[in-house]
Structure 1
Amino acid sequence: MTDLDPVWIIDGVRSPFGRFGGGLRDVSVVDLAQQTLRGVLRRADWSVDDVSELNAGMAMIEGGLMVPARQYAVAAGFPDTLPTLSIDRACCSGMTTVGLGWRAIRDGAHSTVALGIESMSQTPRLLHETRWGSKRGDLVVEDLLMLRNPLAGGQSIARTAGEEAVRRGVGREEQDAWAAQSHARYFAALSEGFFDDEIIPITTPKGDLAADEQPRADSALEKLAQLTPVYGGPTVTAGNAPGLNDGAVALVLAGSRAVGDRTPLARVHSYVQMAGAPTSSVFLPGLAIARILDEAGLTARDVDVIEINEAFAATAAVSVKTLADGDEGLAVHLAERTNMNGGAVAIGHPTGASGARLVLTAARQLQRTGGRWAVAAICGGFGQTDAVLLEAVR
C-alpha cells in the first residue's frame, strides 16, 4: 500500500453487454476474448511483446473451458512465451485481474493485461452421474445459472441478498428506486456520449453488436413495484436485479518505466480483498471501500467517484449505507457519487467481467469530472469482496 512503484491504467475497452440469448449468444467466449484483447491493444497502442502477463477473470469456468486465459492469449496473438492466469472469484474475478496486475507491476513487471469476461448464454448445464453410468433412477441436470449459494444450504443468492438488505434497513421501495435511477443515469450518460470511447463493436455471425442490450428506457417505479420477488425472497425482483449477460472488458496496466511520454487514464493507488460470512456480500463492498480509504489516509468525503457493482440494487444501496456508518447526510452525499452513469441493473452483469468494468468506468468518470479520487468495489464468491482505489493523473 505504498507509493514506491506507481501503477497506471494506460487505457481500457469493453464489449457491449449482451442480453441472455441476445446478440452475443453465438460468439464463443474465446472469440469474444480475442476481439476484446485486440481492441484494447489497438486503443492503447500497445505491443503484445511489451505485455508481461495476462490475467483473465471468469466466473463460469466450471462450464467446461479448460485453462481459458491461455486459450485467450493464443487466440489474440500474444507470444507463446506469455504467462497467463485464469481466475475464478465469481463476480470479483474481473477486478481481481486488476489487483493482480497492480501487484505484478509493483514487483517489477513491465505491463499486464487485465481481462474480465463471461458468456452466460454459452454456460452449459451439467449432467451429473454419467461418467460411470447409473443403473437406475433419475439423472441430475444442474443449471449453474440458478446461482445458488452452496455455503448457505443451496439457497438462491437473490433470496439471501434480499433478506440481508431488509435486516440492514433497506427495503423493497429503496431497492426499486435505486434500480430506476440506474436506468435513468445510464440513458443520460448514453445521450452525453459517455460510452462512445468505452465500447468497441463485436463481430458476431449476424453482424456487429455495438450497443448494450440490457438497459430499459421505459423502466419506472410504477412498473418495478408490480413485479413479484423471485425465489421466495422478500425484495429482489427481475426489475431491481441485473440480467444474465455476456460481455468482456480489458485494461492495459503499466509501470512508470513503460509509460514513457503517454498520458495514462488513471493511477491504481491500491487494491484490497476482504471476506465475510457466506451471505454477507450485500454489504461487503461498503466495508472494503472503508478499509481501502482508511489505509490510504482518506475519508469517504474525499472520494469524487464511487462505483459499486449492482449485483442487485440492494448491494449498492446497502453498501452506501454501510460506508456512511449511520450518517444519513453522508449516505445521501455518497449515493449522489455512486454509479453516476448507471450500474449493472441497467448495463448488465456478465459476472466475470463486471469487476473490470467498474474500474474502467471509475477511471473514465474520474477523468471526466476532474476529481482526484475514485474507488470501485464488488462482491462475489459467497462472501468475498474486492476494492480498487484510483487517483487522477496529475
Structure 2
Amino acid sequence: MPGGFLSAFDVEALAALPLFDLINRNRLVDWEAVSHITLGCENSRGEAENNIARTAALRAGFSKTIRGEVQSRRSRSGLFAVVSAAKSIASGELNLIVTGGVESVGQLHIPKSIFQSARGNNLLVRANKVANEHSSNAWVSGVARLEYLASHFSISRDDQDQFSFRSQARWHAAADKGFFEREAMVVRVVDGQGNNLIFRNDEARYVADGIAEFRSVNEIHGVDGTITLGNSSPISDGACAMLLASESAATRYGLVPRVRIVAHAFIESQSIDYLLGSSAAVHKVLKIAGLKLSQIDFIEISEASAVNAIAVLRELKIPVDADYVNTNGGSLAVGDPAGATGARLVITAINQLESSGGRFAVCAICDEHGQGVAILIERIE
C-alpha cells in the first residue's frame, strides 16, 4: 500500500520475491526444467509493461530461456493465471509451470487525493468507460454500482461494517495462531535511515475499537450512501507464486502434491448485477465437477468490498457469517493487490484444507465488467 513496506520494491523486484522463496522451499526441483511462468498483473503499466513474468523470473535466477506470460484481466488476473497454468499441464504442453500474481501500487503515480478520497479498488477509483461503452449500463460509477447492490439486496451500512470487522478479526486471530507462516515469507527492507527492517506478516488493518471504529467512517456518497473506506478493501501491494506440476514431474522431482485442480469455470454477464460473477462462477464450477455446495469444506471469495461479498453469499444462500467462508479473513483485512489476490485465494485455501483435514475448497473472484472465474481444488492425502 502507499507508504507500506512493500512500496520500497519496484514491481519487478516485488514479483521476484516469492519466486526466490519458491526456489528455496523446493530444492529438489530442477528449476532449469521450468520453461514457462505466467503471472497475473492488473496494472500493466511502467515496468510491468516489459513482460513482468519473464523479467521477474530472470531476476530470481530462472533459466534465460524461460517464457513469460502476463494475464492482465482486471481483478481476475491472478486466478486466471492459475487456471491458465493448470490448462497447460492438463493438455500435456508442460510438466512444470510457475504461476501467481503481482500488483504494485505503491510506486504508481496516482494523485494522493485518490488514496484519501477512495480506496483505490477497481470499483471505486476506475469506472472504465472504454470497456463499458457498448453495454447497457455504460458509465455507471463504481460506487454507484456498489450502492445499487446494497439497495437491491437490502444490505445496510451496518451489515457491511459488521462483515468488514469480522474479516479483520478473523485475520488477526489466524495470524496469532501462526496460520499464515506457511504462505507468508520474510521480507527484509532498508528504510530511509538505512535501518534493516524485517517483516514477517502482511500489513493488515488493525482492529482497535471494534465495530465502533467502522461506524465512525463517513460514507463516500454522503449520508445517503452505505459504502465507506472502512467496508472496502484498502489499496495494497502484493505478490505470490506457486509451482504446478504434472503427476510424472511430481514423481521425478520428489514433490509432495498438496492438492489437485478438479475443475474451473468462467462466466460472463452484461447485467448490472455483473458484480455477482463470483457466485455464478461457483455454481458453474460445481456443476462441471458434479458436486453440491454442501460437499465443499471451504470457500475463498474476493472481498473487494463488503457489499459485494455479502451479495455473492446471499446469491449462494450462504450465511454471511459462515465460518467456512474466508475462514481466516480476506481482502478487507489484508488488502487487495488486484493482480495477486485471485492466486492468493488458492494458496490460502490449500493451507486451510491441510490445517483442517478438509477435502474440497472453491475459490472465486469477479471483475467489474461482468466476468467471473472459479476453481475447485481437492486436498491430496
| Superposition TM-score, scaled by structure 2 size | 0.87
Shift of the 277–20 alpha-carbon distance from structure 1 to 2, 3 Å rule, reads farther
The counterpart of 1:52, out of the listed 35, 38, 42, is: 35
The counterpart of 1:62, out of the listed 45, 64, 88, is: 45
Q: How does 1:45-194 map to 2 (within 5 A)?
A: 45=27, 46-63=29-46, 65-66=48-49, 67-108=51-92, 109-125=94-110, 146-150=125-129, 151=132, 153-194=138-179
* Helix, strand or coil at the partner of 1:258: helix
Amino acid aligned to 1:370: G
* Helix, strand or coil at the partner of 2:179: coil
How far did residue 65 of structure 1 move? 2.9
* Helix, strand or coil at the partner of 2:45: helix
Amino acid aligned to 1:180: F
1:302 aligns with 2:299: no
Once the two structures are superposed, what CA deviation does each residue of 1:74-110 show, in whole Å capped at 9, x if it has no partner? Answer: 2122112211111111111011111011100011111
* Helix, strand or coil at the partner of 1:229: coil
Shift of the 154–25 alpha-carbon distance from structure 1 to 2, 3 Å rule, reads farther
1:35 aligns with 2:28: no
Amino acid aligned to 1:74: L
Task: Give, in whole Å, the separation in 2 of the partners of 1:251 and 1:114.
Answer: 6
Amino acid aligned to 2:246: G
Contact 2:353 2:379 in 1 (8 A): yes
How far did residue 379 of structure 1 move? 1.2
* Helix, strand or coil at the partner of 2:322: helix
1:354 aligns with 2:341: yes
Q: Which residue of 2 aligns with 1:272?
A: 265
Q: Which range moves more in the overlay, 49-58 or 147-156? A: 147-156
Task: Give, in whole Å, the separation in 1 of the partners of 2:236 and 2:289.
Answer: 34
* Helix, strand or coil at the partner of 1:85: strand
* Helix, strand or coil at the partner of 1:212: coil
Shift of the 292–230 alpha-carbon distance from structure 1 to 2, 3 Å rule, reads same
How far did residue 278 of structure 1 move? 6.7
Shift of the 305–334 alpha-carbon distance from structure 1 to 2, 3 Å rule, reads farther
Task: Give, in whole Å, the separation in 1 of the partners of 2:150 and 2:86.
Answer: 32
Q: Which residue of 2 aligns with 1:22?
A: 4
* Helix, strand or coil at the partner of 1:178: helix
Contact 1:92 1:380 in 2 (8 A): yes
Richer in helix (by share)? 2
Amino acid aligned to 1:121: G
Q: Which residue of 2 aligns with 1:134?
A: none
Gaps of at least 5 residues in structure 1 are: 1-18, 127-142, 325-330
Q: Between the two proteins, what is the percent identity of the paired residues?
A: 31
* Helix, strand or coil at the partner of 1:306: strand
| Superposition TM-score, scaled by structure 1 size | 0.84
Gaps of at least 5 residues in structure 2 are: 112-120, 192-196
1:322 aligns with 2:309: no
Contact 2:267 2:371 in 1 (8 A): yes
Amino acid aligned to 1:292: V
Shift of the 72–147 alpha-carbon distance from structure 1 to 2, 3 Å rule, reads same
Contact 2:149 2:308 in 1 (8 A): no
Task: Give, in whole Å, the separation in 1 of the partners of 2:204 and 2:255.
Answer: 35
Amino acid aligned to 2:228: T
Shift of the 44–319 alpha-carbon distance from structure 1 to 2, 3 Å rule, reads farther
How far did residue 334 of structure 1 move? 7.9
Task: Give, in whole Å, the separation in 2 of the partners of 1:278 and 1:48.
Answer: 45
Backbone CA RMSD of aligned residues: 2.2
The counterpart of 1:374, out of the listed 353, 361, 367, is: 361
Amino acid aligned to 2:275: V
Ranked by relative contact order (alpha carbons within 8 Å, sequence separation 6 or more), the top structure is: 1
Contact 2:12 2:47 in 1 (8 A): no
Shift of the 193–298 alpha-carbon distance from structure 1 to 2, 3 Å rule, reads same
Shift of the 281–123 alpha-carbon distance from structure 1 to 2, 3 Å rule, reads farther
Amino acid aligned to 2:204: Q
How far did residue 359 of structure 1 move? 0.5
Shift of the 156–245 alpha-carbon distance from structure 1 to 2, 3 Å rule, reads farther
* Helix, strand or coil at the partner of 2:227: coil
Matched residue count: 354
Task: Give, in whole Å, the separation in 1 of the partners of 2:166 and 2:127.
Answer: 27
The counterpart of 1:337, out of the listed 308, 317, 324, is: 324
